[in-house]
Each structure stands twice: as structure tokens, then as C-alpha cells.
A = this chain, B = another copy of it.
Amino acid sequence: MRTAREVTLPLHVDRAAAEPLPAQLVAQLRGLLASGVLRPGDDLPSTRALAAHLGVARGTVVTAYEQLLAEGWFSGAAGRSTTVNPRLHEVHPRLPVAGEAADPRAARAATAAPAPTTSAAGRPRPPLDLRPGQPTQTGVVGPAWRSAWRRAADAPVEVPLPPLGWPPLRAAIADHLRRMRAVVRDPAEIVVTAGVREGLALLLMATGARTVGVEEPGYPSLRRVLTAFGARPVPLPADAQGLVTASLPAAAPQAVIVTPSHQYPLGGSLPVDRRLQLLDWAAAHGTLVVEDDYDSELRYTSAPLPALTSLDHRGGVALLGTFAKTLTPAVAVGFVVVPPALLGAVEAVRGGLGQPVSLVTQRALAHYLDSGALMRHTQRMRHLYRRRRAQVVRALRAVPGARVYPMDGGLHAVVEHERDEPEVLAALAARGVLVAALSDYWAGGGSRRGLVFGFGGVSDADLAAALTAIAAVLAEGA
């Protein structure tokens, strides 16, 4: 009875060949060393196991190993297993160092850090990255988080995961939506996704939509998803309150993506009359309304308006949600609330492509939601964001020529100005502050000039330093 233990090396012997078997083995092992398959310090199979694996006499393997030991390729001592010589590159310096980057430590060290800049005091420090999108994640890793993952990792894995998601997580999301957004839906209509973009991709595949209306200005990364899935974005004008529903086109696209809770990036909330006008227009044209509800739970200046999906009684609205902003992008989970008529098509696509979120992650998030930890975390975040919004307004309201948008709840601020955009961005980068340009949110022309920055992903002190730099740069040109 042979044992295959540890013999994963691609070795074989050819009894018909003229070359003796030990020499064949030596040549093949040298080849594995040269190609980097065997690396310094690797354990080798025992001579007994390798002989059994190859079906040769143990003496054949012993002879081969002894030659490689003598030549310094291998090292070993009585009672210890044979290994590849840890100092191989001193003994055979011309051996190509193949696969060096496969050392996990090397790769860790090579992980790119942001390029350091030099502060006024001359000390190099990393830039303050205020490009929007990063939420505050302070306090995420705590007892409730650890306990949720521990319970998830303790549970058995021999459990089928339905393509639409783990039912207890879908029930927990339904409960979350009810409590936080007053949206009452059956868990069967909630689909677990790997995030907002993945949820949009799922809807595009399920509907086959080829023309999709988008707010202009709007969120560039959702537009990229459209293009990747062969859909054409149709820009629809938006103002500070959101989509301008009075000018919706008669030739309606097959779907339309809107941010009614908090227009991205301008920050306003779509008034109820516009919401109803949008729903009527969509129903008249058979257009699917995709409600991107990316951060409405974080609204801190007033109660959010009801979700569009709550106003819809015709089953024409899909709601895209995510835990990336309210909790952390590290969880990589979002959801779609799917209109009942579309559920079959979504399930067919999901079944064909598979559920991308691991069972362990879905279980951990379900525990975290059920424990009430997300609600407590969201409440802490709302306090923090409200305080930071006040800090932004205080720092920038007196800057001449700059107009701070209302920021009606959210993680980022928009400051319109009259200056040259690339010049402002370059001046800020020179001071070590990275922000986004307002004009980047327009796909076509007609843009306004300004800057967009997040105030979630930085510390209080870094935000204060960045605001000082922004005020100084904007004041310079005035």
C-alpha cells in the first residue's frame, strides 16, 4: 500500500530509457530547482514515500537524494527530513531565482503604499486622500463584529447556498430595511450581491436593458458598469434636487438609474412631486427604475424621504443597497430589492453564474445585523458625520468665490468655484491633499467647476489640515 503523502512533485521514471533511474530522478529534481518549483527550505518527500509513489526500489531514491545532498542542492541530517538547502543560492549562485516573488512576505512588503509627499516641515508623509467614497470605519472591528465572524466560522459548511443568497441574511436585510428605511418587503424579493455594481450588473443581465438613463451629473462608476455590459448610458439632466423630471424624454430608455435620497454628487433629495412624475413616466414607457440608495441610512440633517420603492405600487422599481458605506467596503456585500415580476429572470441569471458572496460572509453579516450592531454603528456614524459637516461648513463658508453645497446628509462635500479645475487640483496635490474634480461627474458637456471630497475616510486632524489647505488654495485665486 503506497502513501501519496507530500508527493505533489511532477516526477516520473521511464524504465525504457537508457539513463539509469537515479540519474533520471537527479535530472528532474535539478530541473524543478532551476524552474523554481522547488525552493530553498522546501521539505522533500521521504525516500520511502517517493519510492512507493514512483513504484521504484527505495535505493533508487536514496541514491538520487545522496547525490543532490553531496552537491549541496539538498540538506539533511540523521533523524530529520531532507529539505532543499536553505542556503542554496550561496552554493549555486547562478541558479535563476525563479518565483522569488512567490514568497508571501516579499509580496506583503511590495504592496504599494501611496507615494509620500513632503510636508511644510520637510518630513515626508503620505498624502491626505480625500477622494470620495471611503466611509469612516472606526469602530467596525469590535466585539459584535468579531463575534459575528466567529459564529459564522464555527458553523458547518455542508449547507447548500441558494443562488439568491442565504435566507437568514435576506430576512435580516428585510428587517434592516423596515427599521432604517421604512421599506417593507418580503425576504424572498431580496437578493444578496457583492455590492452595488454587481447588483446593477445582475439587473442588466436579467432585463437585457440596452439603453439606461443616468443622472447628469452622476456616479461615474455605475456608468462604467453599463458600458461593460453593453448598455448605452443616456444622460438625463439633474439639478441639486436630483433628476429634472419635467424634461424626461419621450423616447424612454429601458431602465433609469436614480439617486433620489441623495443626488450624487450634488447632495439634494428628490421632492415627492418629482418622484411621482418619474414613476408615472416609467410606468407609461415600461422603464425599470433602479433606485441607487447608496447612503440614505447615513442621512443626518433630517429624516430621509421614503424610498422610491415605497411609493411604487406597480412593481416598477428595483432598489440597490450596499453595506459598503454604512459598515465597511471590507464586507463586500450589497443587495437588490427586486420587483416580483423580475424575480424569475434574476434567479435564472444568478443560478447560471453562481452566488458570489461566501456562505461564511453571509452568515457573519446576518449575525451582525440580527444583533443590532449595524443600527448602533450607523447611529454613531451619523453623529460623527454631522459634526464633520459642520467642520467643513465652518472652514469654507468665508472663502470668497467658493460655494459649499448644502450636503443634505452624506459622506462628501461639493465646493463649486470659478477657478481652473486642474490648477486647483494640482495646487492641492502639491500640499498633499487629493480630491476629485466636480466636472468629472458629467459624462457630456455643460459641467460646473469645483471640487468633491469625502470627509469619512480621514481622521479629525487630517480633515482639519486638508480643510486649511483647501481654504488657502481657493482663497489664493480669488
What is A's interface to B at a CB cutoff of 8 Å?
A: 4-12, 32, 35-37, 39, 42, 53, 98-99, 101-104, 106-108, 110-111, 137-138, 140-141, 145-146, 148-150, 152-159, 161, 167-168, 170-172, 174-175, 178-182, 184-188, 194-195, 197-198, 201, 205, 221, 224-225, 227-228, 230, 297, 300, 303-306, 328-333, 349, 352-361, 364, 366, 370, 375, 379, 382-383, 386, 457
Contact = CB atoms under 8 A, between A and B. Distances in A.
A159 B106 contact: no
Given A145-B153, A178-B102, A230-B230, A360 B379 contact: no
Contact of A205 (B10, B106, B228, B355): B228
Closest 7 CB pairs of A and B: A107-B171, A149-B153, A194-B356, A332-B358, A330-B359, A157-B330, A104-B171
Contact of A99 (B156, B174, B201, B359): B174
Contacts of A153: 141, 145-146, 148-150, 364
Given A150-B149, A161-B330, A361-B360, A9 B182 contact: yes
Nearest to A363: B330
Given A99-B184, A356-B356, 7 more contacts: A4-B383, A10-B305, A39-B178, A103-B175, A141-B156, A157-B328, A197-B354
A402 B137 CA distance: 61
A158 B146 contact: no
Given A4-B382, A195-B354, A354-B194, A101 B186 contact: yes
Given A150-B153, A153-B145, A201 B353 contact: yes
A188 B112 CA distance: 12
A225 B11 CA distance: 36
Nearest to A110: B167
A146 to B, nearest CB: 5
Contacts of A185: 99, 102
23 contacts: A4-B300, A5-B379, A8-B180, A9-B303, A12-B303, A37-B184, A39-B178, A98-B184, A104-B168, A141-B156, A146-B150, A149-B150, A157-B329, A194-B194, A194-B356, A201-B353, A205-B228, A330-B358, A332-B357, A332-B361, A358-B358, A358-B361, A360-B364
B304 A353 contact: no
Contacts of A201: 353
B137 A157 contact: yes
A330 B159 contact: yes
Nearest to A328: B157
Contact of A102 (B10, B186, B356): B186
B10 A182 contact: yes
A369 to B, nearest CB: 9
Nearest to A114: B160
A358 to B, nearest CB: 4
Contacts of A179: 8, 42
Nearest to A39: B178
Contacts of A155: 141
A187 B110 CA distance: 11
A331 B303 contact: no
Contacts of A180: 8
A357 B358 contact: yes
Nearest to A129: B160
A162 to B, nearest CB: 8
A241 B55 CA distance: 23
A472 B234 CA distance: 63
Contact of A356 (B12, B198, B227, B359): B198
A108 B167 contact: yes
A374 to B, nearest CB: 12
